């Protein structure tokens, strides 16, 4: 049997992102399962690397119940981050570069030396050099921000842009820090880092395990996004977005008017 056209699907998703134009879901029609969807994601990210982008990290998706419920998919997923997706803290994006962008508050880790495959994962403080509050801008390439599990994996887990706040040394506990997402000074979402797999440190174990299944190793110096603590909120032109994580501080993003 001939399998799904991995390169062709990656090209469609890449063109949708480049032109900020939504496309219909494609997993059901093309018979894409989870493994084939990660192969599409690899080809989709390779398309970015081929034009000079650099891989700078990994992101987790659907590590909180709030996110799973919002998109109706209940499996933890992972995607790749490139240098071009990074927006400086306090920087701005143009909403018209995206289809239907949403923002969500996250916790970021700066990775230190990670174990070789087969070696046990050591202490969290050995694997992570620093932590920071972060904002992820997600933008599903599918119409109505609606997708199945293989669809969202193929679409690099809706990754579009991200902002990292100031790095701090790893605090004693990360498992119950208050999280706020503010839009134009008003609280839009409230949560806790406990929403991220009970403790965002678990997201790193999951990331190492799940990406490892597809032959991807996390690297020293990479950024790791542990997943949103709350549901995502649409990003409107002119909006000022701020995420606050207790003990870690704030990070902000503007949308050009």
Residues within the interface to Mg ion (CB under 5 A): 136, 228
Beta bridge partners of 183: 186, 241
Q: How far is the CB of 1 from ligand OOG (least distance, A)?
A: 30
Q: Which stretch binds ligand OOG (CB under 6 A): 136-144, 199-207, 208-216, 242-250?
A: 136-144
Token representation of residue 240: 């000022």
The string of DSSP codes covering the chain is: -----HHHHHHHHHHHHHHT--B---HHHHT--HHHHHHHHHHHHHHHHHTT--EEEEEEES-SHHHHHHHT--S-EEEEEEGGGEE-TT-EE-GGGSSS-EEEEEEEEEE---PPTTSPP--HHHHEEEEEEEEEEE--SBGGG---HHHHHHTGGGEEEEEE---BPPPS--TT-EEEEEETTEEEEEEEGGGTTTSHHHHHHHHHHHHHTTT----TT-EEE---SS--EEPPTT-EEEEEETTTEEEEEEE--
If binding is defined by CB under 6 A, does position 157 make contact with ligand OOG?
A: yes
Which of 4, 133, 207, 227 lies at the binding interface for ligand OOG (CB under 6 A)? 227
Count, residues near ligand OOG per rule CB under 6 A: 14
If binding is defined by CB under 6 A, does position 133 make contact with ligand OOG?
A: no
If binding is defined by CB under 6 A, does position 14 make contact with ligand OOG?
A: no
Q: How many residues does the chain have?
A: 257
- For residues 103 and 242, is the Cβ–Cβ distance under 8 A? no
Residues 101-130 close enough to bind ligand OOG by CB under 6 A: 104
Nearer to Mg ion among residue 188 and residue 228 (C-beta):
228
- For residues 225 and 136, is the Cβ–Cβ distance under 8 A? yes
If binding is defined by CB under 6 A, does position 252 make contact with ligand OOG?
A: no
Instruction: Return the one option of Mg ion, ligand OOG, none that residue 25 interacts with (CB less than 5 to 8 A, by type).
Output: none
Q: How far is the CB of 120 from ligand OOG (least distance, A)?
A: 27
If binding is defined by CB under 6 A, does position 61 make contact with ligand OOG?
A: yes
If binding is defined by CB under 6 A, does position 57 make contact with ligand OOG?
A: no
Q: Which stretch binds ligand OOG (CB under 6 A): 34-42, 152-160, 162-170, 180-188?
A: 152-160
Instruction: Return the one option of ligand OOG, Mg ion, none that residue 182 interacts with (CB less than 5 to 8 A, by type).
Output: none
If binding is defined by CB under 6 A, does position 136 make contact with ligand OOG?
A: yes
Nearer to Mg ion among residue 4 and residue 105 (C-beta):
105
Binding site for ligand OOG (CB under 6 A): 61-63, 67, 71, 104, 136, 138, 140, 152, 157-158, 227-228
């Amino acid at each position: 049997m001939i399998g799904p056209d991995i390169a062709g699907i990656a090209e469609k998703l890449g063109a949708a992102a480049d032109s900020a134009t939504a496309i219909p879901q494609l997993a059901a029609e093309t018979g894409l399962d989870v493994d084939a969807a990660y192969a599409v994601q690899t080809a989709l990210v390779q398309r970015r690397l081929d034009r000079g982008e650099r891989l700078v990290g990994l992101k987790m998706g659907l590590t909180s119940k709030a996110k799973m419920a919002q998109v109706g998919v209940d499996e933890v997923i992972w995607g790749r981050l490139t240098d071009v997706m990074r927006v400086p803290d306090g920087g701005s994006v143009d909403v018209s570069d995206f289809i239907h962008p949403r923002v969500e508050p996250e916790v970021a880790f700066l990775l230190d030396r990670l174990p070789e495959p087969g070696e046990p994962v050591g202490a969290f403080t050995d694997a992570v050099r620093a932590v920071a509050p972060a904002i992820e801008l997600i933008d599903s390439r599918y119409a109505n921000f609606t997708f199945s599990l293989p669809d969202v994996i193929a679409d690099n887990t809706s990754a579009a842009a991200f902002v990292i706040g100031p790095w701090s040394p790893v605090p004693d506990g990360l498992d119950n820090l208050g999280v706020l997402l503010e839009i134009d000074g008003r609280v839009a979402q409230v949560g806790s880092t406990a929403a991220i797999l009970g403790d965002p440190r678990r997201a790193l174990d999951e990331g190492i395990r799940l990406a490892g299944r597809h032959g991807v190793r996390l690297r020293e110096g990479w950024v790791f996004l542990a997943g949103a603590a709350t549901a995502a909120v649409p990003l409107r032109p002119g909006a000022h977005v701020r995420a606050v994580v207790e003990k870690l501080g704030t990070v902000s993003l503007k949308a050009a008017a």
